[in-house]
Structure 1
Amino acid sequence: MNTSIPCYGIIPARYDSSRFPGKPLADIWGRPMFWHVYAHAQRARVLRKVVLATDDERIKEAALQWEVPCVMTRHDHASGTDRVFEAAAKLGVEPHAVIVNVQGDEPALDPAVIKGLVQPFLDDAVQVSTLAAPISPERAASPNQVKVVTAANGDALYFSRSRIPFDRDGGEGEILGHIGLYAFRMSALERFVSLPQSPLEQREKLEQLRFLENGIPIRVVRAERYEAHGVDTPEDLEHVRALLADHTCKIRSI
């Protein structure tokens, strides 16, 4: 067990989005969305440092205005994970460090889940971790909600857009919904970006399958009462604004 692991939070924030261009700059109570993500992540005391990783000068300028540390990255990354790796490399993080990919469209992020996400790395065997929580059968039916099944030790067996496991006898067993927050050892992150897209990753359009197909285990942490509130569309933004209406992030000074 290693009890002195350096942990860093990196928030990937790109400007271009097919469904919501400029999303990181979307206004929530007078501040850009990325600021709210940063403010919540900062409260996770397990993180030594939290930075924004972007490819856009407009986001960089806003980060400077709101005093959010920012790293500029390439524009042509295929995924947020690739952007996180570039930022971590530019920061010069330790080879044994743990990097938390803090989703840039989760302005209502609960800092407590970050602590749970990095806890498994006290076990030197753990290379990657992510979150999951029980979901309803109705939610499980949606291909937009990724599902995961795990082994007895908590490692992921498979992620899918289909409902898994399939209840052959018509029962209503527990279904775990994946929550897209990840933590990686720097070495695992470096290996991931060096690998080509895997066959199952391409079919399901789920990049975490690249880890599993290449023999890199993912430890799944249960977050029983956590519900993600990601912003994918302008309609989602209105929901999050209402959610944060009386939240401490509305206060001018934290």
Structure 2
Amino acid sequence: MRALAVIPARYPSTRLEGKPLLKLGDRTVIQRVWDATVESGEFDDVVVATDDQRIVATVEQFGGVALLTSPLLANGSERVAAAADALAGEFDIVANIQGDQPFVSQDAIHALLAPFREGQSAEMTTVAMPLHPDLADDPNTVKIVTDITGRALYFSRSLIPANPRHLDHAYLQHLGLYAFTREALRRFPTLTATPLEAAENLEQLRALEHGMVIVARVASSSSIEINTPEDYERARAWVRENETSPA
């Protein structure tokens, strides 16, 4: 099974412009994502797909590979599809490793590929982790519910399910990692936008509304996603506390 990882990284952002190029310790956000993806050992090739030449230059400076893709693409998965089409070579699985997760864990990346490596029937896979109570009401933290086999039922920025008194297991936070069969990735950009996708501003709901099967695995390791200036400050604090060498 040949697997490609594409790291989509946009420069414009209404909440935090240029976040792939922000520094965390001695590395940029995008370099941290690149390093973690390569070090996972899960992929035959890794590439950054971006809309900005500044990101291309940064990636090439640290020895990575980057492709310049159209700024008109609607979401990360469309950018991943465009990058996969532009590359020579055939891949069975293509993963979307979001460029705003500088601390993405090896556990999460392995969980993303596990259903395919185990022969489970799925068009897409994704990853969840136990939801921290402090993030329950945060609309920037996406939640997921699955059926008893791990198939995704719904994703929301609201807390789901609604009544915690009747839940006998942990709430789950969705991590923005996806892997597609090559056929599913070719199909995804052709799907029409859907009402729930628009309501939640979550591209994965387009796949669910069109009947695609998404299998989710739960990873034990947490990860700080950088969506807002507050997230960036949390990430900087984590680096100071965990990576600063003692004097």
**TM-score (norm: length of structure 2):** 0.90
AA aligned to 1:50 is: V
Summarize deviations over 1:30-76 as a string: whole Å, max 9, x none: 33221111111111111111111111111111222211111111111
Unpaired runs of 5+ residues, structure 1, are none
* Structure 1 CA distance for aligned equivalents of residues 239 and 132 of structure 2: 25
Q: Percent identity?
A: 39
Q: Verify the 8 A CA contact 1:121 1:127 in the aligned structure 2.
A: no
Change (3 A) 1:160 1:28: closer
* Structure 2 CA distance for aligned equivalents of residues 141 and 235 of structure 1: 15
* Structure 1 CA distance for aligned equivalents of residues 238 and 106 of structure 2: 16
Counterpart of 1:144? 140
Change (3 A) 1:242 1:196: same
Matches within 5 A, 1:153-232: 153-167=149-163, 170-174=165-169, 175-223=171-219, 225-232=220-227
Give SS of 2:185's match: helix
Give 1:139 deviation, angstroms. 2.9
Summarize deviations over 1:110-165 as a string: whole Å, max 9, x none: 12311111010132521101111222555333333222221121101112223222
With 212-221 and 122-131 compared, the bigger mean Cα shift is at 122-131
Matches within 5 A, 1:15-164: 15-94=11-90, 97-122=92-117, 123=119, 125-136=121-132, 139-164=135-160
* Structure 2 CA distance for aligned equivalents of residues 232 and 213 of structure 1: 25
Change (3 A) 1:61 1:41: same
Change (3 A) 1:48 1:247: farther
* Structure 2 CA distance for aligned equivalents of residues 231 and 167 of structure 1: 28
Q: Verify the 8 A CA contact 2:105 2:222 in the aligned structure 1.
A: no
Q: Verify the 8 A CA contact 2:140 2:227 in the aligned structure 1.
A: no
Matches within 5 A, 1:232-251: 232-245=227-240, 246-247=242-243
* Structure 2 CA distance for aligned equivalents of residues 176 and 198 of structure 1: 24
Q: Verify the 8 A CA contact 2:145 2:161 in the aligned structure 1.
A: yes
* Structure 2 CA distance for aligned equivalents of residues 43 and 142 of structure 1: 31
* Structure 1 CA distance for aligned equivalents of residues 207 and 167 of structure 2: 29
AA aligned to 1:58 is: R
What is the root-mean-square deviation of aligned Cα atoms in Å? Answer: 2.1
Give SS of 2:59's match: helix
AA aligned to 2:98 is: Q
**TM-score (norm: length of structure 1):** 0.87
Unpaired runs of 5+ residues, structure 2, are none
